[in-house]
């Protein structure tokens, strides 16, 4: 009975309140709203009418996290739903796994945000990372990008007994040994994918990881730092990691190229080979690479300068049934190059697409000249596309 009386009193109070508000100007309404901070009251206003909803929504979304009693993904989903297609795609490219369906928003909610305190986000992230220790055995993939590893130890990684993927990109530390030392003391990780790009390393540790992973390792991405720090890296791969299906590697010097030519045939399961270093020229040695490529190879990507004649020789010597060829457009690509590729595609009938990267330092840039007519002729037979490799800019 008491609850019914209280509810009736509240109802009468609301009616009087609404009658009072209906006589106010919008300026007065706006001023009053700014002094109402009770969450339940503000939420109830949303359901009164269109005017109340339009006036209260900016207040609620000026500090949306302050009105939450418990964490909720709804706010983040709502914000993302307000993004443009391009902005949402960029999130997916950076690893967002959950696809959020686009729904037209009643309001531009991000425009109402007045203050965003980064510190709680930082502390929440730290708590989240700490809580991972209890789930270490279930972690199979770790990717750290643009991360400061100063005074950070990899001891926690040793707890991830089922870790299969380790990717470190554009990370910093004053003392690499602090981070890598736990691997030396106790490493039982057997990776299937290892990516090291722009990250200080301990060569001894990388050798341990490669040898421990052995035949389990299938995907490798190594940049200049790794290749220069471990002179015998190719021999190690040949001895322990011949099950590689994906290899992206930076070539530093001519003798390294010769070594690469010799070990490539050992990778009989290799499907993708990406070579990086636009400063280096293979000269007349490039056509010999065609003889070395395993028959398992389907994708070949390089950013080296190459003449149309050398490209022709390479493709004639290539016994791999290439399905995708990616070349550097910024080092003098011409109609003649496209004609060579088209002739190869018609003869072999396995090439499905060609792609172009745009990798060249200003002093090494060579203008490319391709006519619309030649490009149109090629497009009738094979697909021309722009490769999507978010990490390629780090090489």
- What confidence score (pLDDT) does residue 360 get? 62
Lowest average pLDDT, out of 57-61, 169-173, 278-282, 344-348, goes to 278-282
| Residue 8 belongs to some domain of the structure | yes
* Domain, as residue range, for 36: 1-60
Element (H, E) at 109: none
> What's the pLDDT tens digit per position in 179-215?
888 877 777 789 999 999 999 999 999 999 999 999 9
Average pLDDT, integer, range 102-119: 77
Query: Which residue in the block uniquely carries the two structure tokens 């200003």?
Result: 362
Check whether 283 has a pLDDT greater than 70: no
Query: Hey, what are 7's tokens?
Result: 């509810």
| Residues 259, 276: Cα–Cα separation, whole Å | 15
Angle, vertex CA 392, rays to CA 390 and CA 395, nearest 5: 145
- What confidence score (pLDDT) does residue 99 get? 66
Given phi > 0 = left and psi -120 to 50 = alpha, else beta, which region is 349? left
| Residue 328 belongs to some domain of the structure | no
| Residue 320 belongs to some domain of the structure | no
Check whether 129 has a pLDDT greater than 80: no
| Residues 28, 25: Cα–Cα separation, whole Å | 5
Average pLDDT, integer, range 334-343: 90
> What's the pLDDT tens digit per position in 242-275?
999 999 998 877 677 788 888 999 999 999 999 8
- What confidence score (pLDDT) does residue 1 get? 43
- What confidence score (pLDDT) does residue 3 get? 41
Query: Could you tell me if 358 and 328 are in contact, meaning their C-beta atoms sit under 8 angstroms apart?
Result: yes
3-state secondary structure of 252: coil
The radius of gyration of the chain's CA atoms, rounded to the nearest angstrom, is: 30
Query: Which residue in the block uniquely carries the two structure tokens 């290539």?
Result: 318
Question: pLDDT band at residue 13, thresholds of 50, 70 and 90?
Answer: low
- What confidence score (pLDDT) does residue 75 get? 79
Check whether 377 has a pLDDT greater than 60: yes
| Residues 257, 282: Cα–Cα separation, whole Å | 8
Query: How many domains does the chain divide into?
Result: 1
| Residue 47 belongs to some domain of the structure | yes
| Residue 51 belongs to some domain of the structure | yes
Question: What CA–CA distances, in Å, run from 185 to 149, 172, 175, 182, 339?
Answer: 19, 22, 17, 5, 56
| Residue 123 belongs to some domain of the structure | no
Check whether 27 has a pLDDT greater than 90: no
| Residue 23 belongs to some domain of the structure | yes
Query: Could you tell me if 248 and 220 are in contact, meaning their C-beta atoms sit under 8 angstroms apart?
Result: yes
User: In degrees to the nearest 10, what's the CA dihedral of 129, 135, 141, 145?
Assistant: 0
| Residue 226 belongs to some domain of the structure | no
Residue 369 pairs with which residues in a beta bridge? 334
| Residues 45, 50: Cα–Cα separation, whole Å | 10
- What confidence score (pLDDT) does residue 7 get? 43
Q: Give the mean pLDDT of the chain.
A: 81
Which has more confidence, 84 or 192?
192
Question: What CA–CA distances, in Å, run from 105 to 77, 84, 110?
Answer: 12, 12, 11
């Amino acid at each position: 009975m008491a609850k019914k009386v209280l509810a009736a009193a509240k109802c009468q109070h609301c009616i009087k309140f609404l009658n009072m508000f209906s006589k106010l100007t919008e300026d007065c309404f706006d001023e009053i709203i700014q002094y109402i901070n009770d969450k339940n009251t503000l939420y109830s206003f949303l359901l009164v009418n269109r005017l109340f909803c339009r006036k209260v929504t900016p207040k609620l979304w000026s500090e949306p996290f302050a009105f939450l009693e418990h964490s909720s993904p709804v706010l983040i989903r709502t914000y993302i739903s307000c993004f443009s297609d391009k902005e949402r795609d960029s999130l997916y490219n950076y690893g967002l796994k959950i696809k959020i369906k686009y729904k037209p928003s009643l309001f531009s909610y991000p425009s109402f945000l007045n203050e965003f305190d980064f510190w709680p986000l930082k502390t929440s992230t730290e708590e989240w990372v700490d809580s991972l220790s209890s789930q270490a055995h279930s972690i199979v993939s770790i990717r750290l990008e643009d991360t400061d590893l100063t005074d950070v130890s990899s001891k926690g990684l040793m707890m991830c007994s089922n870790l299969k993927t380790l990717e470190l990109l554009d990370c910093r530390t004053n003392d690499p040994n602090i981070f890598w030392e736990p691997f030396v003391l106790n490493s039982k990780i057997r990776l299937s994918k290892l990516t090291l790009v722009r990250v200080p390393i301990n060569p001894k540790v990388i050798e341990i990881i490669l040898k421990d992973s052995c035949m389990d390792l299938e995907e490798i991405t190594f940049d200049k730092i790794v290749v220069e720090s471990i002179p015998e890296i190719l021999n190690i791969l040949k001895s322990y990691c011949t099950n590689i299906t994906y290899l992206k590697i930076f070539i530093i010097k001519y003798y390294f190229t010769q070594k690469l030519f010799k070990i490539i045939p050992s990778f009989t399961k290799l499907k993708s080979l990406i070579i990086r270093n636009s400063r280096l020229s293979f000269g007349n040695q490039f056509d010999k690479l065609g003889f070395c490529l395993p028959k398992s190879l389907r994708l070949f990507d390089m950013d080296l300068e190459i003449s149309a004649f050398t490209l022709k020789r390479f493709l004639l010597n290539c016994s791999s049934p290439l399905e995708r060829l990616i070349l550097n457009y910024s080092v003098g690509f011409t109609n003649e190059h496209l004609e060579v590729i088209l002739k190869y595609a018609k003869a072999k009938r396995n090439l499905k697409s060609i792609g172009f990267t745009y990798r060249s330092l200003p002093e090494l840039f060579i203008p490319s000249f391709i006519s619309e007519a030649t490009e149109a002729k090629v497009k009738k037979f094979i697909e021309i596309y722009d490769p999507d490799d978010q990490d390629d800019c780090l090489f």
